[in-house]
Structure 1
Amino acid sequence: MRRPLKLTSALFACGVLLASLTAAVPAEAAAISCTDTDLPVSGPGLPPLVPGAPATVHGRLCLPAGAVPDTVQLLVHGGTYNSAYWDLPYEPEQYSYQRDMAAHGYATFAADQLGAGRSSRPLSLPLSVWAEAESMHEVIGHLRAGRAGGAPFAKVVIVGHSVGSGIVAVEASTYHDVDGVVLTGITHLPALPVLALGAALGLQPAMLDSQLATLGSDPLYFTTRPGARAGLFYAAGDADPAVIAADEATKDQVSVPGMGSVALFGIVLPSTWGITVPVFQVVGEKDVLFCGVLALRDCSDAGVLRAQEAPYYADPSKLSVYVLPGAGHSVALHENAGEYRSATRSWLQDRLGIAPQGYHSIGRN
């Protein structure tokens, strides 16, 4: 009779242990939460589309399970993109920056820039880098005041990609209202011949694009020609064709005057000189737009690239650089993008002291 008694006791002990482990995982860890919202903004030279009504920036807030973190990353997409860049509707466990960050305990707010996505679409001419930077400054105020999601954020880290990085640099250096800056898909000496050729052969007016013609854009809004994104934004050995197809399906428009002002004042001229908080600069090793001989930037080694970029910052000690091996321009959408997201989280913890809050075990890295 002792052996069955021992077996029963062992099973009971296992049951108690399993129950305690289950209880240790909070019920709210079942899922992250993402909600959409529209925030009112104003910008220089941006009259309301409807008299008396402000322009609005649309965005998606993604939160980890559990308590709302006290820090949020404001995500600013690049030209011919919208906020789908940060939450691509294809294999989100591998390619969604927002959902992966939430899974690892970080909050994000992905904004559609004015003129793109579900944000207001003013005339393209006045949509300069300063107008876009001011709109992001106002979004930061809304995030800190709790007008997105109902909970105020004590800290804001602003994250840009490509043209969005130029806007982020101008915003951070002008308003000094963020706690950290992440610049991706950017160096201060772009490959001008590649950019010129890419613009000439890879862009067309959005109003002539069958996918975007219904937007009713004016002639100075442009988008990429069908099939051009693969060569401009991706490195073939590190890209899934299905991702490129999803990218193509969610592409958007960009203001040509705005893109020009971003290129000159947000990228080439050192607006980054005015940034006073820590900066994390990320590029893909094979980014044809910002790396290589024609760009006078060596992106094969993070240490070498950091030495080349450091003169563009008032305090180089606050600059950290990361190179994603084998990746092209759109670092968030390459097969090894998880490595870049992991590096970003390490930077958030090590340089800014921002630890994860809440966790849901989906996704990779």
Structure 2
Amino acid sequence: MSPSRSRLRLMAAAFTVCATAIPLAVFAGTASALPEDALPGDPSLSDYSAPESDEDVTVTPIDFQVSNQLEPGSSYTLRGFLYEPADAKGCTTVLQANHALTTGAWYWDIPFEQDRYSIARTIVKESGISFLALNKLGYGQPDHPYRSSDRPNGYTVTVEALADASHQVTQQLREDGYEHVGLIGHSAGSEESELQAGLYQDVDALILSGFTHLATERFTAQIATQEVPRTLTDDYPFFFGDHETRDSFLFTDLADPELVKALHPLVNETPAGEILSIGPQPSRAVAPLIDVPVLTLIAEADEIFNAAGAPIDEATFLSSDDVTFNSYPGIGHGVEFHRNGPEITQDVADWITARPGALPSCR
């Protein structure tokens, strides 16, 4: 059972007191003073500050208890942040987010020019709904202000297990009074969101970013020759192996180099089970069952999921009468983090606003 609204407020107050002792390393466009090549697990990464409330958005630390599908009877904590409209009390609409490989809850509210690039804050301000950003099972760095979720054996954290954990969170949101729950995912998080929406039929809208069911030849080779071998010796490897390789897959020259560098120290290790299970993309089997509004954001220069797969994907949503595919030229897999990212996130907010039956505003 998720915390009550009153308990959430107490958690926020306590967390704010703790956060004031943490130095600010990256905020409002200032790049990190940490080494650009810092790898996941660097103890100095605790110098980051946690997300804070502003005049438009109230940010609250929040936890959920879930079990790991491959460990019957297990109990793990997922940790992250709830973003709510500051001028709307008792909001009953929430957009629940699932991040990609190597990223985390920070993906939705990066500590770099937040007025431009924060996905969570823009959606809350423009759509008037709440936004839930959690570190998925196994993700996060210990003692990090962006908070860390519990870490099971990485080989047990599969795509299917992550979709099931997300489903458990959705159930708890419903129990806590949320009448409308949407899902938004990026990359692997889109795969898991689509799998959840089709398998469990438990959400009111689905937003997918940086994802199709057609992987590029380059990415397929990277998985086979680099990523799978890494999982044989480490249940939580650094997916892509180094920042240079990762950046080459995620960004084009339309991304701000300072933003790219600022994200390096935030990169998380990835559960081996997620890497090993994502290839078959099991969500393709249940996509025809999804009967809620669907929005997909396609990066035409994506080096991971080929934009040529978009027409095929669009045709698979047989049960939905509201399917939108937006394509954006010149940008890569890190869709919202290119220079036109703010416009793309605004498109998402506008799409939500145009569907009050699925995700009504709390204002």
The answer to whether TM tops 0.5 is yes
- Alignment-derived partner of residue 187 in structure 2: 162
| Mapping of residues 1-365 of structure 1, within 5 Å | 30-46=55-71, 54-68=75-89, 69-104=91-126, 105-117=128-140, 118-146=148-176, 152-197=177-222, 200=225, 219-223=234-238, 224=240, 225-236=242-253, 238-266=254-282, 269-291=284-306, 296-297=308-309, 305=310, 307-315=311-319, 317-353=321-357, 354-358=359-363
1:163/1:263 contact within 8 Å kept: no
Q: Is the 8 A contact 1:163 1:259 kept in 2?
A: no
Q: Deviations over 1:198-231 (max 9, x none)?
A: 6745898599xxxxxxxxxx71222231322220
Whole-Å separation in 1 of the counterparts to 2:316 and 2:171: 27
Provide Cα deviations, 1:147-185, integer angstroms capped at 9, x if missing partner.
xxxxx2110001111001111111111111100111111
Greater C-alpha Rg? 1
8 Å contact from structure 2 (residues 237, 270) kept in 1: yes
1:244 is aligned with what amino acid? Answer: V
Deviation of 1:128 (Å): 1.4
Question: Identity rate of aligned residues, in percent?
Answer: 27
SS at match of 2:178: coil
3-state SS in 2 of match to 1:159? strand
Counterpart amino acid of 2:188?
V
Distance 1:29 1:123, change over 3 A: closer
CA shift for structure 1 position 86: 0.5
Question: In structure 1, what is the Cα distance between the partners aligned to 2:100 and 2:118?
Answer: 16
**1:351, distance to aligned residue in structure 2 (A):** 3.8
- Give aligned pairs, total: 299
Distance 1:43 1:109 in 2: 20
Residue 145 of structure 1 and its aligned partner are, at CA, apart by 2.4
Deviations 1:106-151 (A, max 9, x none): 21001111010211100011111221111111111222222xxxxx
* Per-residue deviation, 1:188: 1.4
Provide the C-alpha distance between the structure 2 equivalents of 1:95 and 1:198, rounded to a whole number of angstroms: 29
TM-score normalised to structure 1 length: 0.75
CA contact (8 A) 2:99 2:186 kept: yes
Q: For the residues of structure 2 that align with 1:325 and 1:351, how far apart are their CA atoms?
A: 26
- Which amino acid in structure 1 is aligned with residue 269 of structure 2? Q
Q: How has the CA–CA distance of structure 1 residues 78 and 65 changed in structure 2, closer, same or farther, with 3 Å as cutoff?
A: same
Query: The residue matched to 1:62 in structure 2 has which SS?
Result: strand
1:300 maps to which residue?
A: none
CA shift for structure 1 position 336: 1.0
Question: 1:66-88 CA deviation, whole Å, 9 max, x = no partner?
Answer: 22332100010001111111111
Answer with 67-76 or 170-179: which moved more.
67-76
- Could you tell me which runs of 5 or more consecutive residues in structure 2 were left unpaired when the two chains were aligned: 1-52, 141-147
Distance 1:47 1:83, change over 3 A: same
* Cα distance change, pair 266–337 in 1 and its aligned pair in 2 (3 A): farther
Name 1:15's counterpart in structure 2. Answer: none
Letter in 2 for 1:157: G
8 Å Cα contact 1:29/1:66 also seen in 2 = no
Distance between the aligned counterparts of 1:35 and 1:199, measured in 2? Answer: 40
* DSSP 3-state at the match of 2:155: coil
Partner Cα separation in structure 2 for residue 196 and residue 222 of structure 1: 17
Aligned-residue RMSD, C-alpha = 2.5
Question: Matched residues in 1 for 2:165 and 2:56: separation?
Answer: 31
Q: Aligned-pair distance for 1:352?
A: 4.8
Query: Cα gap change, 1:343/1:188 in structure 2, threshold over 3 Å: closer, same or farther?
Result: same
Which whole-Å CA distance do the structure 2 matches of 1:59 and 1:204 have between them?
31
